[in-house]
A and B are shown apart, each in its own frame.
Chain A
Amino acid sequence: MSPLVIAFLVLALLTCGSALAMLWTKNLLHAALAMFLTMLGLAGLYVLAFADMLAVAHLLVYVGGVLILILFGIMLTNQTDPATGKNHLMTRESNRLLPISVGLSFFLGLFWVFTKGPWVNNLPVTGGSKLREVGLGLLTEYAFPFELAGVFLLIALIGATFVAKKHD
């Protein structure tokens, strides 16, 4: 096995294991920590797929932005535990049988489709970092969607602050 495949296996194990931990735990804060590890592993997988720019953006956005937002959300919506008076972080679950069987069947179905798909072995190989091409493409061919995404982000953030403020 080449070192690239070993690195892939380690990162995939990190990603899948922490996703499984997210499913397993009932504690909201533990789930947020597991999501942090999942995002870390995913950024590594992006690097291995030669999308290094996306990997850095993913790290900045998810670890720096979304995770902090989730932690603030957890802190601002605390459910006081009547017994101890502290923040009650344990979430309730519905009946386990149906969701787990649906998830398992989705996984097996997707696995089967991906494995049997006609695209697997006949793709041309282009390697190496694509940072220069991505930058050029975002400012020339995809300049309009790029600006649109910026305006969309601005609108969404202003809208979020408006929705979150106290309405009397």
Chain B
Amino acid sequence: MTDIPVIYFLWVSAFLFAMGLTILLLKKNTIFVLMGIELILNAANLNLVAFSKNDPSMQGLYLSIFVLVVGVCEMAIALAIILQVYRNYRAIEVDQFKSEY
């Protein structure tokens, strides 16, 4: 039944984490950076799920459900903040935010 080794899931999650980190560092657009953060969160989630596959008490699965909820909250708040930043600066590139003080 359980033919897939855990290590395959770990490799995929390592790849997703690296992709998210690279997007985070490479792109200048704030929405793009948020997408990279989402990739990193989902890589961590995939790790939790892969380990709870072999755990009878399934604590990783419960934690990953809460990670999902917190990720959605983060996304909503961050997009609201980006909207306000856009109203103030007329730009959403991370290197164009300069303090006036």
Chain A residues within 8 Å of B, Cβ to Cβ: 2, 4-5, 8, 12, 15-16, 19-20, 22-23, 28, 31-32, 35, 38-39, 42, 45-46, 48-51, 54, 57-58, 61-62, 65-66, 69-70, 72-74, 76-77, 79, 91-94, 96, 98-100, 102-104, 106-107, 110-111, 114-115, 119-120, 123-128, 130, 133-134, 137-138, 142, 145, 149, 152-153, 156-157, 159-161, 163-164, 166-167
Contacts and interface: CB of A to CB of B under 8 A. Distances in A.
Contacts of B73: 152-153, 156-157
Q: Is the interface of B mostly helix, strand, loop or mixed?
A: helix
B15 A19 contact: yes
Contact of A134 (B18, B58, B91): B58
Q: Is the interface of A mostly helix, strand, loop or mixed?
A: helix
Nearest to B18: A107
Given A15-B12, A91-B93, A102-B25, 7 more contacts: A23-B19, A23-B26, A45-B46, A103-B18, A103-B25, A111-B11, A167-B84
A70 B77 contact: no
26 contacts: A4-B4, A16-B15, A22-B19, A22-B39, A28-B29, A50-B2, A66-B71, A69-B75, A72-B79, A73-B82, A77-B82, A77-B92, A91-B28, A91-B32, A94-B27, A99-B22, A99-B24, A102-B21, A104-B18, A111-B14, A119-B6, A124-B54, A126-B55, A149-B65, A149-B70, A160-B80
